[in-house]
Chain A
């Protein structure tokens, strides 16, 4: 394996680990928060607005990290009625260009998500600071997706990591 290819592969492995940790922890935390809210609301008539904010944003964390992990092994939902009918050799040739397009589109979304976050940060009142910081998942999520697709462009197909 050439040094650059090796570096990209290691980066991808590291990214997958990070995505797995964030996805798993976010979902676990979401479960804990949602359950504690049920208990607090129904047994103690209590409710914490901040917990609600965190839970709602954790869904976005799970979504982005789960989507990034789904890129591995080509697990995204597709309308592949044409691709399933074409020859496997031609289909294989299409894979990398499609992954590259995915990386570019996600990079564009990252740019606009960053713009959105910067705009929000300028006008967010004090009581919305928590939501503001949690909303960082929007640009970071698209960045992760774009990076994951980018690294896949430079990987051999057989190197999909399940």
Chain B
């Protein structure tokens, strides 16, 4: 039977859809444990009873609606008017716009597709170096991963059983620190190649703000609703989805209900389906692994080699960076989180802090070869080789690694509110 398992792993590495590989693994594990494979279906059905699950398709729909309705263009205009007068200001505008947008689209590649094509020519026109522009745009696809209502945070909360409200709150400061670090690097870089900023103009800012006011109100709505205790995460998702649809169809009139809405609904379903089907079939497998006491055996092994929390965190970072470079973020959450949760708790790492470390590592994994998805999407979008893009992204990668060390070893940055 071990040969079967090895074959399955090879097939997964060769490109078998992950949900199929995990499903087959679950069938194998249930037969090995002399359990009826119906338990896998019971676990999948249990998924439907999770109270926050409904928020995933709804927040994704809101992001897709904004993407289709020209939200990215409006955001760039606003942040360029706000920050574009500084050296590196356009880069800062790009960083903030991408982070804002990724928070709603769930780092699914939509950011690079929607914003990358707009920003790249703008960077070139403004005398930014090509290498810097490609590096920034490649890394920008996952910048807002820690901001509410990030799809990755929602999924982590559901899989780990951690409060999603707490995770949303914990991600804000680390997310802002990364934006500041990247903005400072942009400022410094722009001084070297003398990219000409445009002068600040109140008129320009007012016009852009007037155009974007409805978009900007969206995160305010989500955060006030959830952190103010007015609505649950699911209710916030419903309101956000309805609000996004309302502004794009009634206020901006960029989306026509009969013409565009069906495609947005279908694209959302495709994205949600490809993520949640993995979660569904993996639930059974991970529970079977827990039944076979794999996490506790792993714990015993690690305890015999690692004594301190510091050592554990270092090992965890290395492990997660490798995982991030090999696996997609959503599958990594579903497969790895149930296995590392007991270990992290043993080393007294707060589950919320663990969540932010986990997602930060995977955020970096998005731009790391061999399968960093941002590299592939950016390669398609800008017509450059993966190697060129990776080389361009190295300075950004280095900054993000420093940031990762900061948030890993300074829990106060994530848990300041506790």
- Does A associate with B in a complex? yes
B45 adjacent to A83 (CB under 8 Å)? no
Q: How far is the CB of B273 from chain A (nearest CB, A)?
A: 2
Q: Does A13 contact B (CB under 8 A)?
A: no
B265 adjacent to A75 (CB under 8 Å)? no
Known contacts: A30-B58, A102-B16, A115-B38. The answer to whether A24 contacts B45 by CB under 8 A is no
Contacts of B239 in A (CB 8 A): 35, 38
Contacts of A59 in B (CB 8 A): 48, 53-54, 56-57, 276
B234 adjacent to A34 (CB under 8 Å)? yes
CB contact list, A38-76 vs B, under 8 A? 38, 41-42, 55-57, 59-60, 62-71, 75-76
Determine chain A's interface SS by DSSP, over half rule: helix
Contact of B238 among A37, A65, A108 (CB under 8 A): A37
A98 adjacent to B16 (CB under 8 Å)? yes
Q: How far is the CB of A9 from chain B (nearest CB, A)?
A: 20
Contact of A98 among B15, B57, B273 (CB under 8 A): B15
Contacts of B273 in A (CB 8 A): 23, 62-70
Contact with A along B57-100 (1 / 0, CB 8 A): 11001000000000000000000000000000000000000000
CB contact list, B12-68 vs A, under 8 A? 12-21, 23-24, 27, 36-38, 40-42, 44-45, 47-49, 53-54, 56-58, 61
B58 adjacent to A24 (CB under 8 Å)? no
A56 to B44, CA, bound (A): 13
Q: Does A135 contact B (CB under 8 A)?
A: yes
A75 adjacent to B274 (CB under 8 Å)? yes
Q: Does A154 contact B (CB under 8 A)?
A: no
B24 adjacent to A27 (CB under 8 Å)? no
Contacts across chains A and B counted by CB atoms under 8 Å: 193
A56 adjacent to B53 (CB under 8 Å)? yes
Q: Number of contacting residues on B, CB 8 A?
A: 63
CB contact list, A67-97 vs B, under 8 A? 67-71, 75-86, 91, 94-95
Q: Number of contacting residues on A, CB 8 A?
A: 58
B265 adjacent to A27 (CB under 8 Å)? yes
A79 to B18, CA, bound (A): 7
Contacts of B320 in A (CB 8 A): none
Contacts of B40 in A (CB 8 A): 109, 112
Known contacts: A80-B15, A109-B23. The answer to whether A56 contacts B270 by CB under 8 A is no
B12 adjacent to A79 (CB under 8 Å)? yes
Residue of chain B at shortest CB distance from A86? B14
Contacts of A27 in B (CB 8 A): 57, 61, 265, 268-269
A102 to B16, CA, bound (A): 7
Q: Does B328 contact A (CB under 8 A)?
A: yes
Contact of B326 among A24, A34, A79, A108 (CB under 8 A): A79
Known contacts: A30-B54, A79-B326. The answer to whether A65 contacts B269 by CB under 8 A is yes
Closest CB pairs A-B (n = 5): A66-B273, A66-B269, A34-B238, A23-B269, A76-B17
